[in-house]
Structure 1
Amino acid sequence: MNSQLQQSVSVLKGVGDDKETELNQLGIRTLNDLIQHFPYRYDNFEVQPIENLKHGERVTIEGKVQSEAVVRFYGKKKSRLTVRLAVENILVTAVFFNRHFLKKKLNIGHTIVVTGKWDKYKLTITGQDVKFGSSDSSRKMEPVYSATGSVTVKQLRRFMNQALQRFGADIEETLPAAIRKTYKLPGKKEAYESIHFPETAEQLKHARRRLVYEELLLFQLNMQAFKRRERMSSQGVTHTFEESSLFSFIDSLPFSLTDAQHRVIKEIITDMKQPLKMNRLLQGDVGSGKTVVASVAMFGAHLSGMQSALMVPTEILAEQHFQGLQDLFKETDVTITLLTGSTKGKKRQEINDSIREGNVDIVVGTHALIQEDVHFNNLGLVITDEQHRFGVNQRRALRDKGYEPDVLFMTATPIPRTLAISVFGDMDVSIIDELPAGRKQIQTYWVKPPMLERVLFFIQKELKKGRQAYVICPLIEESDKLDVQNAIDVHAQLQQFFTEYQVALMHGRLHSEEKEEVMASFSNGATDILVSTTVVEVGVNVPNATVMLIYDADRFGLSQLHQLRGRVGRGEHQSFCILLADPKGETGKERMQIMEETQDGFALSEKDLELRGPGDFFGSKQSGLPDFKIADVVHDYRALETARKDAIHFINMEQFWEDDSFLYLRNHVKQSGAWSGTKLD
């Protein structure tokens, strides 16, 4: 990067101390930051034929005034001005609000150019900008930037123009000529000038294409460099065992595995048998049998004389995994222990001793596994369940308990391929995309609030059969901002309705011990109805629960609704998911209909991504999703795939590491820390 562009924005004319402070608040400190502050939209002043105008969009038309302007006043100081224009021999009505002063300038026969929102059915334009006289060919597309404080969009345009005029020559070309030629991409300087001040929509398209590809390529180069370095440098553990023994264990299971489970097991076993460290993400819908796959991997580690650790987010989930694994391994010589925060005193010391001495094959636990007093004898396989619930440092701490153990991350959150290759691009991904045979589909119904009483009587019928129910609410207590049912109120209402049954309440503000207690009571059947916020989303297995009622379901994303729905349908009985919602917009209605029709978590996750965008996908920003300046992983999916393919090719070819044409890209990888292995956990 040329040092000229690393200068402070204060070198620009008109940027004093106050303006500099406000620009800093926008993340603009240097000239380079400024030219990378891209417009989020453009005001298009290009006059287009009426037949090309799209209903509801911002457009620009040119016409002759055909009638006197009529002004009507209403309310306090509010006005509505209408005037008829002849546009291509068609009469169009232009409407201006609170611009009554224009009346004097709108003379019959004069030409004006109006920019505003187009209504093609009424042939009306609601004017936001007006220019007297014919259209000015130099004013076609103007960038609109996010601004702050007293910094206006107009000033940002001026600063941007000044920066490009004075320092544009210092914009360094970063992509090799061969790549630019292959994809017909403009040069970097030209791309920056066109993204900020495009003369045509076509020019803008190519500038954006260039900058999006480069941003995604730089990101993917880091991902692939890290992955390659890990493979080259990580002489991990090599698991050696007879596959026939592993298949005997699989055959002894009381159920048949699906084809998808067999495929994924093969991928994992192949990794484990290699001297390179496994770094694999196992995705599978709720109930697809990820735990069984993990147990086969742990049995493989046991056969090769190594220990396995399975880390899960909550104690109750750890206990369920522990009991489940004991059932799976009861006919083998595999030893399993459970270690959680509740394991205290002498018992904890005994468990720690047996782990250190190698008398335990599998340790199931919560973050207690990463405490300083836990020492493994020969840790060869680390598995984390719902890995996005743990921080990077927690995952690394468990991995560091062994000498480069194989790592398997499991998640029941179906992550669209688009995001998987962004967020988890440094991992190999295995997907179980098939449910075990005989699993009953959960019947899903969308109902409006007036039907709530009928729903409650339906739940009562299920309770009489000895079943249990979940009731989920978006908020803990009343909020002025959102008119949504809250867990505390709903809990009180349901206690009044279901007087013969036990109704419990769980939410995020309870201490972890209280949450565990409430959940344990529901798990063992002492509680009939559990009213909760989404803290119940991940984990627990209550086969007797057959109803999931979700209040204000339109407030949740599709993936989250699917996760919640997956809490039921785990036993032999038919289960039901009832979405209580009265969505106002089309998107909300569409989401409810999709939920009724679709049970496939991956299909839902792709749709969720389309409807809500990547920032909201994980429910929070801790997803590890890269913060791109111009690229959008949903809409730029093809560019992401291309960048990934190219990055793999470049990282693995000698020319990339030697040829001067790749110097910038090579330096980027080295400076990012990806090649030294210090980043991208």
Structure 2
Amino acid sequence: MARWQDRSEDELEESVTVLKGAGPRTAEQLHDMGIITIQDLIEHFPFRYEDHAIRPLKEVSHDEKVTVQGTVHSMPELRYFGKKKSRLTVRALVDGFLVQAIFFNQPYLKKQIQPGDHIIFSGKLDKNRMIMSGGTVKPRNIERDNELEPVYSVKGDIKVTMLRNLIEQAFNTFGERITEILPSQLLSAYKLTSRKEALYSLHFPHDIMAFKQAKRRMIYEELLLFQLKMQLFRKKEKEGEKGQKKQFVLAKVEDFIRALPFSLTNAQEKVLHDIYADLQANTRMNRLLQGDVGSGKTVVAAIALYVNALSGFQGALMVPTEILAEQHTESLRHLFKDTELSIAHLSGSSKVKERRETLKKLASGEVDVIIGTHALIQESVIFHNLGLVITDEQHRFGVEQRRILRKKGVNPDVLFMTATPIPRTLAITAFGDMDVSTIDQMPKGRKPVKTHWARHDMLPRVLDFIKKETGKGHQAYVICPLIEESEQLDVQNAIDVHAQLSTALPTVSVGLMHGRLSHDEKENVMLAYTKNEIQILVSTTVVEVGVNVPNATVMVIYDADRFGLSQLHQLRGRVGRGTEQAHCILLADPKTEVGKERMGIMTETNDGFELSQQDLELRGPGDFFGVKQSGLPQFKVADLVEDYRVLETARQDAVKLVNSKAFWESADYQPLREMLKKQGAFSQTKID
């Protein structure tokens, strides 16, 4: 398909040891920083820049780091402290004000600075006393260097000045070998500077404008390359792995939907049409279904499993916890009670005899749908003809776990589900190789949960409210961050809170749930809570997913400022599942502005997608999922939060390019194809 010639060797792949000053010891330390070749060195970008643009004093705030220009007013004064410490004071007229610039441990400057000299100097300005000081203070010639000073991350004995020198050498020696990889069409369309100029300006920006243009160019290039890899993988998936085309009678599916005790929302129906089209296609489905807590993803999954079974295939639903597996099994058995579908359950705690019987029926094809935990991916689990794999809360499973389950069948259709609303920025980055469907509409009649923020000293009022609600026959959750007391964190813990509430509310049954209980103990607690034998459930975050008690109307979260917005929203979603008004109370005394902002945001909106975007901005993409998301790339220049518009543009461009004839055949695209080939984009594999 592709038409290009391999170059014998990339001109920039020579070792850094060809540079003066990069001997064996230096080269070894550069290797530790990930710098092995000239290319690596040129692409080791600064992580921030010191702004040395001259500013008028009237625009400078107190204690701000700034660069100013002035005239030396009098002879500098030098004082020594101890053997090697010194302090040089230079008085200069700056914008009509007399400013004292203090230079520490640089006595040689006294001979270089004379009254009447015009100087430019930087530092932190005490505007009250008009004193400028700080470790970075230094005089500069009026014929000064660049306004922006790059700051690099270094290791070992490598100093920033040494690194800058090596980078400058690399550009002087190999700069002419830096080739353009973007086609002229894109360069012209977005008015992008050349690759060589952009790389140079990131290291040696002449001014702010040159830096901004360079950064804009490299952000687009980085995101375009990533999105092209995603789209190439997606194209390979669709062309290379033929799916199992499902044939079913739609009227029978519609009869099943009409028999449900509720009506589907427009959003659910739209998502189902996407899934029907995927199942009927020759290519394998690879779809992410995201929807807010309580939006009805489980019903959509059930209908997909029903369609799959009507087509003569088996379906598997893998979930992260045993509690959730049991709940889904119960829900699906209820939904399928008037059908001929055979539903089975498999988890780590399944009894030996029950497990053996389930595996036998699964292998013979007697089981149509199986629900389970990671127990589904064990070697002993053999399917007769697996046609659909659904993974719930998919980011809680490792890449390898999901892959093993897919391999249990012959190119089965795959549907990932998540109740963690993912900002579009992350969805098209971490899941850019998937089709994404969103249920953005809640079922009719559901009342939004009212959220309140309370300080810990308001606990007596909170307890009164819980007592009032339980008096009506309702139930409450009380969530704590830790199981036991920790010296490191001053947080309430489940065991202490359980004892406290049992004493404060003696007429109410208070249960305790945490991750250290055995499976049977957890099951017994949840069963008692489901039956309303327990009115208040004190728990750690194990109830974040997998608990559905419509009678629960109160959710109290201790030390709520220690949770991310998305996790708080997940916990809040455990209540408000019935017809009564539900309340979520955030107990917190946040000590940081971010903590206060989180509490404010939670009380203002119930929209999970809006919260997820706010969470992304507050916490950053690396922490969004609570654990490091496998497959989330580390970009050198781009920022997923700030550069989301560029990411959208890059994705649209990548889709057009991969499906165009010019991308595969035109000489204008050859450098781009070569770069992608070098980065492994045509190897027919994707690193999750």
TM-score where L is the length of structure 2: 0.90
Give the alignment of 1:63-82 within 5 angstroms: 63-64=70-71
Q: What is the Cα deviation at residue 599 of structure 1?
A: 0.2
Structure 1 partner of 2:428? 421
Give the alignment of 1:165-176 within 5 angstroms: 165-176=172-183
Matches of 1:552 and 1:80, distance apart in 2: 48
1:468·1:545 contact (CA, 8 Å) conserved in 2? yes
Instruction: Choose 174-183 or 190-199, whichever is displaced more.
Output: 174-183
Question: Partner letter of residue 246 of structure 1?
Answer: V
| Residues 252-287 of structure 1 deviation map (CA, whole Å, 9 limit, x = unaligned) | 111111111111111111111111111110000000
| 1:517–1:182 distance in 2 versus 1, CA, 3 Å | same
Q: What is the Cα deviation at residue 152 of structure 1?
A: 2.5
Structure 2 partner of 1:141? 148
Question: Partner letter of residue 668 of structure 2?
Answer: S
Question: Partner letter of residue 664 of structure 1?
Answer: P
| 1:117–1:372 distance in 2 versus 1, CA, 3 Å | same
Residue 629 in 1 paired to residue 636 in 2?
Answer: yes
Structure 1 partner of 2:616? 609
Matches of 1:122 and 1:268, distance apart in 2: 69
Q: What is the Cα deviation at residue 398 of structure 1?
A: 1.5
Matches of 2:490 and 2:158, distance apart in 1: 35
Q: What is the Cα deviation at residue 321 of structure 1?
A: 0.6
Structure 2 partner of 1:460? 467
| 1:573–1:471 distance in 2 versus 1, CA, 3 Å | same
Matches of 2:518 and 2:102, distance apart in 1: 57
Q: What is the Cα deviation at residue 567 of structure 1?
A: 1.7
| 1:507–1:226 distance in 2 versus 1, CA, 3 Å | same
1:550·1:579 contact (CA, 8 Å) conserved in 2? yes
1:82·1:93 contact (CA, 8 Å) conserved in 2? no
Question: Partner letter of residue 22 of structure 2?
Answer: V
SS in 2 for 1:184: coil
Q: What is the Cα deviation at residue 525 of structure 1?
A: 4.2
Matches of 2:92 and 2:498, distance apart in 1: 61
Question: Partner letter of residue 325 of structure 1?
Answer: L
Residue 205 in 1 paired to residue 212 in 2?
Answer: yes
Give the alignment of 1:45-56 within 5 angstroms: 45-50=52-57, 53=60
Structure 2 partner of 1:58? 65
Question: Partner letter of residue 421 of structure 2?
Answer: P
Question: Partner letter of residue 432 of structure 1?
Answer: I
Structure 2 partner of 1:130? 137
Question: Partner letter of residue 34 of structure 1?
Answer: L
Match of 1:238 among 245, 259, 278: 245
Structure 2 partner of 1:618? 625
Match of 2:265 among 237, 258, 270: 258
SS in 1 for 2:629: helix
Instruction: Choose 300-309 or 601-610, whichever is displaced more.
Output: 300-309
Structure 2 partner of 1:548? 555
Matches of 2:492 and 2:440, distance apart in 1: 35
| Residues 215-261 of structure 1 deviation map (CA, whole Å, 9 limit, x = unaligned) | 11111111101111111122211111222221111111111111111
Structure 2 partner of 1:192? 199
| 1:21–1:578 distance in 2 versus 1, CA, 3 Å | farther
Match of 1:644 among 648, 651, 654: 651
| 1:343–1:509 distance in 2 versus 1, CA, 3 Å | closer
Structure 2 partner of 1:597? 604
TM-score where L is the length of structure 1: 0.91
SS in 2 for 1:5: coil
Question: Partner letter of residue 173 of structure 2?
Answer: R
| 1:623–1:579 distance in 2 versus 1, CA, 3 Å | farther
Q: What is the Cα deviation at residue 337 of structure 1?
A: 1.4
Matches of 2:116 and 2:495, distance apart in 1: 67
Matches of 1:594 and 1:80, distance apart in 2: 49
Structure 1 partner of 2:403? 396
Match of 1:449 among 434, 443, 456: 456
| Residues 326-365 of structure 1 deviation map (CA, whole Å, 9 limit, x = unaligned) | 1112222222111222223332222222222222221111
Residue 216 in 1 paired to residue 223 in 2?
Answer: yes
| Residues 436-479 of structure 1 deviation map (CA, whole Å, 9 limit, x = unaligned) | 11112111111122222322332233334443333333344455
Matches of 2:678 and 2:479, distance apart in 1: 47
Matches of 1:509 and 1:36, distance apart in 2: 48
Q: What is the Cα deviation at residue 506 of structure 1?
A: 4.4
Q: For structure 1, which runs of at least 5 residues remain unmatched after alignment?
A: none
1:95·1:127 contact (CA, 8 Å) conserved in 2? no
Structure 2 partner of 1:366? 373
Match of 2:364 among 337, 353, 357: 357
1:278·1:408 contact (CA, 8 Å) conserved in 2? yes
| 1:284–1:204 distance in 2 versus 1, CA, 3 Å | same
Matches of 2:488 and 2:69, distance apart in 1: 43
SS in 2 for 1:43: strand
Question: Partner letter of residue 321 of structure 1?
Answer: H
SS in 2 for 1:631: coil
Matches of 1:453 and 1:297, distance apart in 2: 48
Structure 2 partner of 1:26? 33
Q: For structure 2, which runs of at least 5 residues remain unmatched after alignment?
A: 1-6
**CA-based RMSD:** 3.2
| Residues 69-105 of structure 1 deviation map (CA, whole Å, 9 limit, x = unaligned) | 999999xx9999998754333x365575977979978
Q: What is the Cα deviation at residue 193 of structure 1?
A: 0.9
2:317·2:389 contact (CA, 8 Å) conserved in 1? yes
Give the alignment of 1:269-348 within 5 angstroms: 269-348=276-355
Matches of 1:209 and 1:364, distance apart in 2: 48
SS in 2 for 1:130: coil
SS in 1 for 2:12: helix
| 1:132–1:98 distance in 2 versus 1, CA, 3 Å | closer
SS in 1 for 2:136: strand
Q: What is the Cα deviation at residue 125 of structure 1?
A: 5.3
Residue 88 in 1 paired to residue 60 in 2?
Answer: no
1:279·1:408 contact (CA, 8 Å) conserved in 2? yes
Instruction: Choose 106-115 or 397-406, whichever is displaced more.
Output: 106-115
Matches of 2:611 and 2:501, distance apart in 1: 31
Matches of 1:204 and 1:422, distance apart in 2: 26
Give the alignment of 1:152-167 within 5 angstroms: 152-167=159-174
Structure 1 partner of 2:578? 571
Question: Partner letter of residue 397 of structure 2?
Answer: F
Matches of 1:46 and 1:495, distance apart in 2: 64
Matches of 2:19 and 2:502, distance apart in 1: 66
Question: Partner letter of residue 536 of structure 1?
Answer: V
Matches of 2:444 and 2:452, distance apart in 1: 23
Matches of 2:500 and 2:329, distance apart in 1: 36
Structure 1 partner of 2:383? 376
Aligned-residue identity in percent: 57
1:111·1:133 contact (CA, 8 Å) conserved in 2? no
Residue 537 in 1 paired to residue 544 in 2?
Answer: yes
2:555·2:583 contact (CA, 8 Å) conserved in 1? yes
Structure 2 partner of 1:247? 254
Residue 39 in 1 paired to residue 63 in 2?
Answer: no
Q: What is the Cα deviation at residue 306 of structure 1?
A: 1.9
Instruction: Choose 630-639 or 523-532, whichever is displaced more.
Output: 523-532
Matches of 2:561 and 2:664, distance apart in 1: 51
2:399·2:630 contact (CA, 8 Å) conserved in 1? no
Match of 2:492 among 485, 490, 494: 485
Q: What is the Cα deviation at residue 571 of structure 1?
A: 2.5
